Structure 1
Amino acid sequence: MNDDLLDAVVVGGGPAGLFAAWRLAVGGARVALVEAGGGMRQSLCPRVTARVRGQTVRPAEKFRLQCERCDCLTGLGGAAFHFDTNLGYVQGLSRSKIETDGHGGVRSYSGLERVFGDFARAARAVDDVYRLMYGFGLPRVGGTALRAEQQAVPATAPFALADQAASQAITVDDALGMVDALTREAVDHGMRLYLGRRVDDVTDAPQGFTVRLADGSGALTTRSVVLAVGKLGLDWLRPLLQRLGVAHRPSRKVDVGVRLETDRDIAAPLTASCHNPKLTFINERDEPVRTFCVCEGGRIMQYEFAGTVVLDGQHCLTSPTQRTNFGIVSTVAVPETQDGTDHGIDFARRVNMAGAGLPVVQPLVELLGRGRVDAPVHSSLIRAAYTDLAAALGPQRVADIEGMVDRLAAILPDIVGPRTVVAAPVVEKVYPEIELSADMASNRPGLYFAGDCSSKIIGVTYGAATGLAAADAILRG
C-alpha cells in the first residue's frame, strides 16, 4: 500500500461517502475511499442476485424470502441502496419538520436547512444531488409517477403539519447502475478504492492524519478525512471523538418509536398521491410525533445495532407485498442529566428484553386497550415475539401512538382493526451532537463528518448533499 500523502481519505461508501469521494476525485484531489464491505453486487443480500450481464436483479428471487435479521448493510451504496428505497424531494425541498418555538407557537424547518444554515443553499444542494444521480443513470420520472401534492391528506386533518413533498423511488436495479457509473468515473479520475477494509483508527500525523486499517493491513496518510460511516458506525465513532478531541456533546434529542403495519388497501388513502407523507403533531410535552419512512407494499426488517436489535422499513418496489408499514416516532427531549444516545439504545434494549432478544409485535387494538384479536397476528417480520409492548414503550410513547392513530383515523377509517399491528423498537438520530460548520467541518482542521454520523441528518439525498459539501470545502483548501 502506498504511504504517500493524500489530499483526503473518505471512510464509508454509502451515499455521503460515495458522493464526497467522487467530487474530490473529479476535482483533482488525491483521494482514497475505504469501505468495510465489498462492491455493491458482492454485498447485496444473497436472496437478491444480480444478473451477470446488465443491471437487473432477478424479480423472482428479490423479496420472496426475508432473513430474520439483516446483515447486508455494508458495502458500496451503504444500507440505503442495498434495497429499494425512497429518495425524497424530487420537485423541491420542503420544510417537513416542526418544533415548538418557545412562545406557544410552532415553526417548521428542514433538517438540511439547519445543517447549511440557509434554506436556499439546502434546496440547491438537493437539486445538485438529483442532477448528478440523473447523470449517473437514475431514470427520470414525471407526472403522476412522482405523486405530487394532491388530496391525500384533507386540509382539516388534525395535524400541525401535513407535508406531501413529491419524492422519487429508486430500485436496487437502478441503484446498481448508478453506483457503478459513479464509482467508475471516480476511479478513472484517480480515486483509490479499498473494499473489504475496516478502519481501525484515525490518528494525528505531522501533515494531517493517519488512517490505520484493521488487522495490520496498512495505513494511509492524508491532509483531510471525511467520516461517513453511517448509523452502524456509532460504537466505533463515539470513542474516536474523544481520542481526537472533536468538539461534541451528548445528544439532547433522539427519535424513538414503532412501526405500524396494516393491509395495503387500508393504508391506500394515505399513500394515494404521495410516496412518503410526513404528518406531525405536537404532544403534551411539546415533543413532535410524526410518521416516518412510509413503505407502501413493503416489509419490516430488523438488524443489529449497538448491541441490540432495531427495526426499519423495507421498500419492495419491484415485488410489492400486500402490506404497508410506516414509522411513528417521537422526538424525545431527554433531561440534561441524560445522554440522548444512551436513552435511544436503552429504549431498544427494553423492548428487546420484553421480546427475549427479539423485536416485539402486538395488535394495535391490544396495545391501546381497545379489544382483543383472537385470529393469528399477521406481520411481515420473519421472527418476532408476540407479547405486550406497553410496559417496554412506556405510557408516553403509547399515548403518542394513540394520538397519531386517532388523527390518522380521519384519513384511514379502518386503521384501528384486527389487521393492524405495532412493531418495535425504532431508534433514529442517535449520534452525539458534533459541532460542525456549514461545510461539515469539525473543530479539528481537516476532519469532516457527513451523512448519518454528522449527527445532523439522515436519508439518501441529505447524506449525498453533506458529502458534496465536505468535498467542496476540501477542494477550496
Structure 2
Amino acid sequence: MTTPAIWDAVVVGGGPAGLFAAWRLAQGGARVALVEAGGGMRASLCPRVSARMRGQQVRPAEKFRLQCNRCDCLTGLGGAAFHFDTNLGYVRGLSRSKIEQDSSGAVRAYSGLERTLGDFDRAAAEVARVYELMAEFGLPPAGTHIEAAGGTAGTGFAAADEAVSQAITVDDALTMVDALLLKAEANGLHLRTGCRVEDVDRQDGVWSLRLSDGTQFRSRSVVMAVGKLGLDWIRPLLQRHGIAHDPARRVDVGVRLEMPQEVAAPLTASCHNPKFTFLNDGGEPVRTFCVCDGGRIMQYSFLDTVILDGQHCLTTPTKRTNFGIVTTVDVPAGADGTEHALGFARRVNQAGGGLPVVQPLVEMLGRERLTERPSSSLIYAADVDLAAAMGPERVADIAGMVHRLEALAPGLIGPRTVVAAPVVEKLYPAIELSPDMESSAAGLYFTGDCSSKIIGVTYGAATGLVAAESILRD
C-alpha cells in the first residue's frame, strides 16, 4: 500500500485494546497503522505452549519444571492476554462486581468499565459488542468451556459475584486474532511488528511517532494500547506533553493463593471465576480475582521488580488452583500510588533475594512451622518470612479472606496451601480521560491497561472500540 503523508490514526500496541481499535478504524475507512513492539502471535508464544501445539507430549511430572525463570512471552500480537489460555469475563451481561466505602461509610457497588465510559448501559452494550465480534472472528459460542452459575456466596462477604464467564484457549485466540487481522488488513490496515515507538511528539496539531527502525509516522490521532509493561514509557510521556493526570490514589497489592485442586473445588464448582469481597477495618476492599482452576503461577520482570500472575492451563491442566487476593489500598496523602505499589513489590523481592516469595499459608498466619515444605507451581521462588515483608495490614487482609473462604472450602487453611507474592495491579497514574478515552491532549487516546481505569480482555477491547468510534466521528 502507499504510505500516506499523514495517517488518520496510529495504534501503539497489539493487545486486545489495540487490535479491536485498529480493526474498527480500518473497517470505518480510516488510514490506520498498528505498531507492535513484539512479533506475530505465533512467534512470541511460550515455548511450552508451542511444544504442545506441535503435538509434543510433556509428562505430567515435568509440567511444573518446564517454566522459565522469568516469563518473556508478554509482547507480540495478542498481548499478554492471549499468549496463554485465559478467561474473558462476563457472558450474560455486565455486573457491578466491585465495591467501595464512601466517606459516610456507605457501601456501593460499581463496574470499572461503567465509570470509565460514564454510563452502565453504555458499558454493558460495549461488552456485549465485544463478545459478538469475537464470535464473528471465530471464538466458540459461550458455554463451550463454562458451566451454569450457582449461588455459593458465603457469609462474611460484603459482595459475592458468580457471574458466568467464558474461557478461551490459545488455539481459539489464534483463530480469532488471525481473522480480525485478516479483515482489518483487507480494509487497509498497515501492520508493523517487531518495531517500537521510541518517541511521540506533536507539531501543528499532528502527532509524530519515531519508530525504532528509523521511520517516522505522522498522524492526526494516536491510540495508546501498550498494556501494563508500558508504564516506564507512558509516565515520561505524560509529563513531557503536560497531559492531565494525578498520582494513582488507589492501587491493588497482594498475593496469589495456591492449593490442591480438590481443596478449591467447592469455590469453582458453580463458577469458574468467583469474586468475593469484604471490607477491612480501614474500609478498603479485599477481594479475590483471576481464579485459575487447574492452572499455575507465573512470574515476570516489571521495571526493577518481579511480580506474579496466574495462568489458566485449560489445554494442559495441572492439579492445582490458584487465585489472587488483593487489597485496593488507599494510598497515604501526598504519596504516589505507583511508587507505593512498586515499593510493596520491592520489599517482597528484597526479602526473597531478588526472587518472589512462596510460604506455606499456615506459617504466614503464625499457626505452625512445617517440617515438610509444600510444593508450588512457582519453582523459582524463595521460601522466607512473607509476613515481615508485606506488613501486618496485608497479612490481616489475607487472614480475613482465607478464614471466610474456609467456610466455603474446608481444608483451604491447610499444610498444602501456599501464599505467593508480590502481586500488584492498577498502578498507572490516574490519567484524565473523556468517556471516549481521549486525554487532555487532543487526538491522544489511552486504552486498556494503560488507561489507568480498567484491566482485562473484554474491558480492554471495549475501550479500544470506543476510542476508534470517537476518531471516526471527528
The TM-score, its normalising length taken from structure 1, stands at: 0.96
SS at match of 2:130: helix
CA distance in 1, matches of 2:225, 2:231: 11
1:388 pairs with 2:389: no
Which amino acid is 1:221 matched to? R
Do the aligned partners of 1:35 and 1:197 also contact (CA within 8 Å) in 2? Answer: yes
Instruction: State whether structure 2 residue 454 is matched by structure 1 residue 442.
Output: no
> 2:402 touches 2:412 (CA, 8 Å); kept in 1?
yes
Does residue 172 (structure 1) correspond to residue 170 (structure 2)? The answer is: yes
Q: Of 192, 195, 198, which residue of structure 2 is paired with 1:194?
A: 192
Partner in structure 2 of residue 268 of structure 1: 265
Match of 1:414 in 2: 411
Q: 1:211 is aligned with what amino acid? A: L
Name the counterpart of 1:398.
395
Match of 2:452 in 1: 455
> Where in structure 1 are there 5+ consecutive unaligned residues?
none
Alpha-carbon offset, residue 50 of structure 1: 7.2
Aligned to 1:181: 179
- What SS does structure 1 have at the residue aligned with 2:150? coil
Return the letter of the residue paired with 1:364: L
- Does residue 1:163 correspond to 2:161, yes or no? yes
Is 1:84 aligned to 2:88, yes or no? no
Measured in 2, the distance between the counterparts of 1:454 and 1:57 equals 37
SS across alignment from 2:355:
coil
Letter in 1 for 2:83: H
Distance 1:247 1:228 in 2: 18
RMSD over aligned Cα atoms: 1.5
Question: Corresponding residue for 2:49?
Answer: 48
Q: In the alignment, what sits opposite 1:106?
A: 107
Aligned-partner SS, 1:378: coil
Task: Decide whether the 8 Å contact of 1:98 with 1:161 is kept in 2.
Answer: yes
Deviation at 1:293, TM superposition (A): 0.5
1:387-425 superposed Cα distances (whole Å, 9 cap, x missing partner): 110111000000000000111011011011100000000
Deviation at 1:61, TM superposition (A): 5.2
Whether 2:372 is the aligned partner of 1:371: answer: no
1:178–1:47: structure 2 CA closer, same or farther, 3 Å change rule? same
**Could you tell me how far apart the structure 1 residues matched to 2:55 and 2:442 are?**
46
Deviation at 1:48, TM superposition (A): 1.9
Letter in 2 for 1:147: E
Are 2:12 and 1:14 equivalent residues in the alignment? no
Question: Matches of 1:476 and 1:107 in 2, distance apart?
Answer: 34
Answer whether contact 2:348 2:356 (CA < 8 A) is retained. yes
CA contact (8 A) 2:101 2:108 kept: yes
Partner of 2:34: 33
Shift, 1:184, TM fit: 1.0
Match of 2:329 among 324, 329, 332: 332
Identical counterparts, % of pairs: 68
Find the residue that maps to 2:57 and give its secondary structure: helix
Find the counterpart in structure 1 of residue 118 from structure 2.
Answer: 117
Question: Cα offset for 1:58?
Answer: 3.6
Q: How far apart, CA to CA, are the structure 2 residues paired with 1:211 and 1:272?
A: 49
Check whether the contact 1:308–1:345 (CA below 8 A) recurs between aligned residues: yes
Equivalents in 1 of 2:138, 2:202: separation in Å?
39
Q: Secondary structure at the match of 2:50?
A: coil
Judge which range, 367-376 or 232-241, deviates more.
367-376
1:292 corresponds, among 289, 293, 313, to 289
Superposed displacement of residue 187, structure 1 = 0.7
The code of the aligned residue for 1:85 comes to: T
Contact 1:205 1:221 in 2 (8 A): no
Amino acid corresponding to residue 432 of structure 1 in structure 2: P
Q: Which moved more, 1:61-70 or 1:218-227?
A: 61-70
- 2:179 partner amino acid: A
- Corresponding position of 2:137: 136
Question: Any stretches of 5+ residues in structure 2 without a counterpart?
Answer: none
Per-residue deviation at 1:66?
1.7
1:126/1:58 CA distance change after superposition, 3 Å: farther
1:216-231 alignment runs, 5 A limit = 216-231=213-228
Letter of the 1:213 partner, please give it: L
- Find the aligned partners of 1:59 and 1:82 in 2 and give their Cα distance: 18
Q: Tell me how far apart the structure 2 counterparts of residues 187 and 310 of structure 1 sit (CA, whole Å).
A: 36
For 2:15 and 2:384, the matched residues in 1 are separated by: 36
Give secondary structure in 1 for the equivalent of 2:453: coil
The CA deviation at 1:67 is 1.5
Q: Which amino acid aligns with 1:274?
A: C
Deviation at 1:4, TM superposition (A): 1.0
1:476–1:422 Cα change, 3 Å: same
- Please tell me the residue identity of whatever aligns with 1:301: M
Q: Residues 427-453 of structure 1: CA distance to partner in whole angstroms, max 9, x if unpaired?
A: 000000000000000011100000000
Deviation at 1:292, TM superposition (A): 1.1
Pairwise CA distance, 1:146: 2.8
Using structure 2 for the length normalisation, give the TM-score. 0.97
CA distance in structure 2 between the partners assigned to 1:409 and 1:308 by the alignment = 32
The Cα shift of 1:206 comes to 2.3
Q: Write the letter of the residue equivalent to 1:242.
A: Q
Contact 2:143-2:166 at 8 Å conserved across structures = no
| Map 1:300-339 → 2, pairs under 5 A | 300-339=297-336
How far 1:3 sits from its partner (Å)? Answer: 6.0
Aligned to 2:408, the other structure's residue is in SS state: coil
Pair 1:283-2:280 in alignment: yes
Q: Which moved further from structure 2: 272-281 or 99-108? A: 99-108
From 215, 238, 259, the equivalent of 2:256 is 259
| In structure 1, C-alpha distance between the alignment counterparts of 2:456 and 2:56, rounded to whole Å | 25
The letter for the 2-side match of 1:189 is: N
Q: Could you tell me how far apart the structure 1 residues matched to 2:186 and 2:442 are?
A: 29
Output the amino acid matched with 1:193: L
Q: Which amino acid aligns with 2:77?
A: L
What is the alpha-carbon distance in structure 1 between the residues aligned to residue 143 and residue 351 of structure 2?
46
Secondary structure of the residue aligned to 1:386 is coil
The answer to whether the 8 A contact 2:360-2:373 is kept is: no
